[in-house]
Amino acid sequence: MQYKSQAVAMPYFIAAIGLFVGQIIFGLILGMQYVVGDFLFPEIPFNVARMVHTNLLIVWLLFGFMGAAYYLIPEETETELYSPKLALILFWVFLVAGAATILGYLLVDYATLASMTGNDLLATMGREFLEQPLLTKIGIVVVALAFLFNITMTVLKGRKTVISIVLLLGLWGLAIFFLFAFYNPVNLVRDKFYWWWVVHLWVEGVWELIMAAMLAFVLIKVTGVDREVIEKWLYVIITLALCTGIIGTGHHYFWIGTPEYWQWWGSIFSALEPIPFFAMTVFAFNMVNRRRREHPNKAAVLWALGTGVMAFLGAGVWGFLHTLAPVNYFTHGSQITAAHGHMAFYGAYVMVVITIISYAMPILRGRAANSEKAQVVEMWSFWLMTIAMVFITLFLTAAGILQVWLQRISDTPMSFMATQDQLMLFYWMREWAGVMFFIGLLTYLASFFIKGEAKTAKA
Partner 1 sequence: METTSTSLPHGAAGHPTPAAEPRLAGDLAIWVFIMAELLAFGAFFAAYAFTRANNIELFNAEQAGLDRTAGAINTILLLTSSYFVVRAVQAAELRAARAAANWLLAAIVTGLGFIVVKLGEYAAAFAHDISLSSSPFHMFYLSLTFFHFMHVILGLVILVAMWNNARQGRYGPGNMNGIETGAAYWHMVDLVWLILFPLVYVIH
Binding site for partner 1 (CB under 8 A): 232-233, 235-236, 239-240, 243-244, 259-261, 264-265, 267-269, 271-272, 275, 279
**Coil, strand, or helix at residue 216?**
helix
Spatial distance between the Cα atoms of 391 and 206, rounded to a whole number of angstroms: 29
Least CB distance to partner 1 at residue 279 (A): 7
For partner 1, the closer of residues 235 and 329 by Cβ is 235
Please report, to the nearest 10 degrees, the dihedral formed by the alpha carbons of residues 284, 9, 154, 158 taken in order.
-50
3-state secondary structure 128-180: CCCCCCHHHHHHHHHHHHHHHHHHHHHHHHCCCCHHHHHHHHHHHHHHHHHHH
Please give the DSSP secondary-structure letter assigned to residue 349.
I
Least CB distance to partner 1 at residue 275 (A): 5
For partner 1, the closer of residues 168 and 324 by Cβ is 324
For partner 1, the closer of residues 323 and 393 by Cβ is 323
Count CB-CB contacts under 10 A for residue 404: 20
> Cis bond leading into 11, ω under 30°?
no
Least CB distance to partner 1 at residue 244 (A): 8
Least CB distance to partner 1 at residue 141 (A): 32
Angle at 270 between CA 265 and CA 276, to 5 degrees: 135
Least CB distance to partner 1 at residue 240 (A): 6
For partner 1, the closer of residues 326 and 366 by Cβ is 326
Least CB distance to partner 1 at residue 270 (A): 11
* Whole-number Cα distances in Å, 110 to 106, 114, 450: 9, 6, 42
Angle of the 162-178 helix axis to the 207-223 helix axis, nearest 10: 160
Spatial distance between the Cα atoms of 129 and 51, rounded to a whole number of angstroms: 7
**Coil, strand, or helix at residue 42?**
coil
For partner 1, the closer of residues 10 and 234 by Cβ is 234
For partner 1, the closer of residues 229 and 338 by Cβ is 229
Least CB distance to partner 1 at residue 230 (A): 12
Residues 130/195, Cβ–Cβ less than 8 Å: yes
For partner 1, the closer of residues 2 and 239 by Cβ is 239
Residues 218/304, Cβ–Cβ less than 8 Å: yes
Least CB distance to partner 1 at residue 282 (A): 10
Least CB distance to partner 1 at residue 247 (A): 9
Task: Return contacts of 22-25, CB within 8 angstroms, 24+ apart.
Answer: 22/52, 22/56, 22/102, 23/52, 23/53, 23/56, 23/57, 23/60, 24/434, 24/437, 24/438, 24/441, 25/438
Angle of the 298-311 helix axis to the 351-364 helix axis, nearest 10: 170
* Contacts (Cβ under 8 Å, ≥6 apart) of 122: 134, 182, 184
* Contacts (Cβ under 8 Å, ≥6 apart) of 224: 291, 292, 293, 295
For partner 1, the closer of residues 284 and 339 by Cβ is 284
Least CB distance to partner 1 at residue 252 (A): 18
For partner 1, the closer of residues 70 and 253 by Cβ is 253
For partner 1, the closer of residues 239 and 456 by Cβ is 239
Least CB distance to partner 1 at residue 258 (A): 10
Alpha-helix runs per DSSP H in 7-118: 9-35, 46-77, 84-107, 110-116
Least CB distance to partner 1 at residue 250 (A): 11
For partner 1, the closer of residues 104 and 250 by Cβ is 250
For partner 1, the closer of residues 82 and 262 by Cβ is 262
